[in-house]
Amino acid sequence: MNAENRERGTGNGEPGGYPPQAGGGNGATADSWVPGARPGGATSGVVENSTFEYLLRLADDRLVLGHRLSEWCGHAPILEEDIALANIALDLIGQASALLKLAGEIEGKGRTDDALAYFRDAIEFRNAQLVELPNGDFAATIVRQFLFDAWDVLLLERLTAATNESVAGISAKALKEARYHLRHSAEWVRMLGDGTAESHARAQRALDELWPYTHELFLVDATDREAVAAGIGVDTETLRLAWRETVDRVLREATLTRPKDGFAPRGGRTGRHTEHLGRMLADMQSLARAHPGATW
């Protein structure tokens, strides 16, 4: 139990960890710090809370990535791409909204999708760090999108078999969208990798910088395991091989080199984000928070 607590608390294997708990060290978890979490923390193995946590992970990936993509609107390299990126952003935000609604219902405290999106702090978000990184140039945006899409398709294929009907339904629709997203991002990876010397250099640089953040996509912790046991989650470690195959194939076609594994940042799944997320949310949430309780 303690080992699981530590794992969930920090993601780094340190006991207790940040933020410090009123009761002191052992048994502290990120959950018990989070407003709205059940008293006594989530380490009691209560399935609803794990489900809630797990759904936030799914939802927050999409919300944050959709938001990042939406930042391109009006600034893309060519008109057709303004339209394409907006499409993907819309799909992702739509998926996030559906998942957040479901998460709120399961939490049972009356939090709507908007309440969850606009009134949680960065430390309460559960997205992987990969998706919160700033867009960078077009190569970085596309490479990040490709690495995510290749994973997302595999994840959603499994989630369509979830025993929770809502999760299965949302996933089935999202899978169609994700397949199209992958088609788009993979083609761009090829175009940039096998385009000009400049585009190739930018794509390779983006790949080298983003690669470390892909490892978090395949981490499995107690929350994941409980979600799998409850029939609504996926053991993403089992997706790694298929993901590598897809990625290797496209990189080869793109004449890009797969970076070596090494540095593997993590923590997003338990609220330990990069500094980028806080700034992104400051932008995203500012108006809603300036008028709490207002209807839009």
Partner 1 sequence: MNDKNPTAAAGAPDTARRAPADDPALVAEFEARIAAGESIEPKDWMPERYRKQLIRMMSQHAHSEIVGMLPEGNWITRAPSLRRKMVLLAKVQDEAGHGLYIYCGTETLGIDREELVDQLLAGTAKYSSIFNYPTLTWADVGVIGWFVDGAAIVNQTMLAKASFGPYARAMVRICKEENFHKKQGYESVATLAAGTPEQKAMVQDAVNRWWWPSLMMFGPSDKDSPNSAELMRWRVKRESNDTLRQRFVDLTVPQARAVGLTLPDPDLRFDEASENWLFGEIDWKEFHDVISGNGPCNRERLAARRKAHEDGSWVRAAAEAYGAKRQAADAA
Partner 2 sequence: MTKDTAASTAAPDRAPADTQWGLWEVFTQEGEGAPHEHAGSVHATTAEHAMQNARDVYARRGKVVSLWVVPTASIIASVPSDAGPMFDPGNDKAYRHPQFYKVPRGVRGL
State which of positions 199-258 bind partner 2 (CB under 8 A). 200-201, 204, 255-257
Give the nearest distance from C-beta 193 to partner 1 in angstroms: 9
289 CB contacts (<8 Å, ≥6 apart)?
A: 118, 119
- The C-alpha atoms of residue 198 and residue 213 are separated, in whole angstroms, by 24
> How many residues are recorded in the chain?
296
User: Alpha helix locations (H) across 108-239?
Assistant: 113-118, 129-132, 138-159, 165-193, 197-210, 222-229
Residue ranges in contact with partner 1 by CB under 8 A? 67, 70-71, 73-83, 86-87, 89-90, 93-94, 96-97, 100, 113-114, 117-118, 137-138, 190-192, 194-196, 198-199, 202, 283-284, 286-288, 291, 293-296
CB 138 within 8 A of CB 78: no
List 187, 208, 209, 221, residue binding partner 2 (CB under 8 A): 187
Q: Which of 4, 114, 157, 194 binds partner 2 (CB under 8 A)?
A: 194
Residue 275's binding partner, choosing from partner 1, partner 2, none, with beta-carbon cut-off 5 to 8 A by kind?
none
Of 117 and 234, CB closest to partner 1: 117
49 or 204, CB closer to partner 2? Answer: 204
| Segment 29 to 88, residues that bind partner 2, using CB under 8 A | 78-80, 83-84, 87
186 interacts with, out of partner 2, partner 1, none, CB within 5 to 8 A per kind:
none
What is the smallest separation between the CB atom of 93 and partner 1, expressed in angstroms? 6
Question: Contact residues for partner 2 (CB under 8 A)?
Answer: 78-80, 83-84, 87, 183-184, 187, 191, 193-198, 200-201, 204, 255-257
